[in-house]
Amino acid sequence: MSVPLPGRTHDKLAFDISGFEAYLLRDGLTAIGDKGYEGSGLKTPCKWYERQPFTLWAWAENRALSAIRNAVERAIAHLKSLSVLRTGTRTRATDRNQAVRDIIMSAVALLLFRQNWRSEHA
């Protein structure tokens, strides 16, 4: 969730440039990312090493993180398919970047809510 950067910019570098880590630390939030964000302060999946056995705990942790990350990826895909991010937003917000962040966070929250509701009523 940052301003557009050149296409070859690595995810971790874009995260560092965005200053989003300070925002997370300020509010005491925990965020997750894929293995490309290792060392950035985000919660990342456990890596498998050939000389160390992959424990049941690490497997379960990776599975839980993947479920959350998949929901976020689907929410972003829905936003892209609706062209919300490309065509701009109708908002009275003075900070357009904050408005886009709010839209993405709302979409993710709604998708997670829908996922939990379905699992409870299945």
| Three-point CA angle 59, 60, 64, nearest 5° | 120
pLDDT band at 93 (very low <50, low <70, confident <90, very high): low
Average pLDDT over residues 11-34: 79
pLDDT greater at residue 28 or residue 56: 56
Q: Residue 81's pLDDT is what? A: 73
| Three-point CA angle 50, 73, 65, nearest 5° | 40
Q: Residue 32's pLDDT is what? A: 82
Do 24 and 41 form a contact (C-beta atoms < 8 A)? yes
Q: Give the total residue count for the chain.
A: 122
pLDDT at position 75 over 80:
no
Q: Residue 88's pLDDT is what? A: 60
Q: Residue 71's pLDDT is what? A: 79
Q: In the structure, how many helices (H) and strands (E) does the chain have?
A: 5, 0
Q: Residue 85's pLDDT is what? A: 59
Average pLDDT, the chain: 77
